[in-house]
Amino acid sequence: MIRGSCLCGAVAFELAQAPEIMNLCHCSMCRKASGSSYGTFAHIKRGQFRWTRGDAEITRYESSPGNFRAFCKICGANLPVSDADDDYVCIPAGTFDDDPGIAPQVQIFAGSKAPWHEITDQPPSFDEFEPEDFF
């Protein structure tokens, strides 16, 4: 099991296995939501993810049509987004308590990066989404 939780610990979740994908997103929305240079997200099939506590403390914000960001009502920490109509759960990587067993494989929306942040060669970066055949 790979465990994760919010800053105050009210909300927690676990994964049955390591996520398949981890990316860094430099878009302006991920920068604002994370309050940092970029967002780091792990992606795992819904069946491998479950909430272990704190459902009632989760709130969501629709940052673009149909795209939600979840956070803890108490501490404001970003939380995974698990939508019934989405095959994958998107997990802000800073929430992991255990080693998720994966490192970032790609950087997306490098065209929107923060002016103070220098992107190095690895992992590969793209101005917007990675090409469809990347994974």
Residues lying near Zn ion in the complex (CB under 5 A) are found at 6, 8, 10, 25, 27, 30, 72, 74-75
Closer CB to Zn ion, 74 or 102, in the complex: 74
Token couple for 58: 């989760």
For residue 32, the minimal CB distance to Zn ion (Å) is 10
Alpha helices in 24-103 (DSSP H): 28-34
For residue 87, the minimal CB distance to Zn ion (Å) is 19
Angle at 46 between CA 71 and CA 135, to 5 degrees: 100
Closer CB to Zn ion, 39 or 100, in the complex: 39
Write out the H or E segment, with its range, that includes residue 15. strand 12-15
> Which residues fall within 8 angstroms of residue 88, CB to CB, at 6 or more apart?
21, 43, 44, 45, 46
Distance CA 88, CA 82 (A): 7
Closer CB to Zn ion, 18 or 29, in the complex: 29
Distance CA 82, CA 134 (A): 23
For residue 61, the minimal CB distance to Zn ion (Å) is 14
Closer CB to Zn ion, 45 or 73, in the complex: 73
For residue 108, the minimal CB distance to Zn ion (Å) is 7
Closer CB to Zn ion, 8 or 102, in the complex: 8
For residue 26, the minimal CB distance to Zn ion (Å) is 7
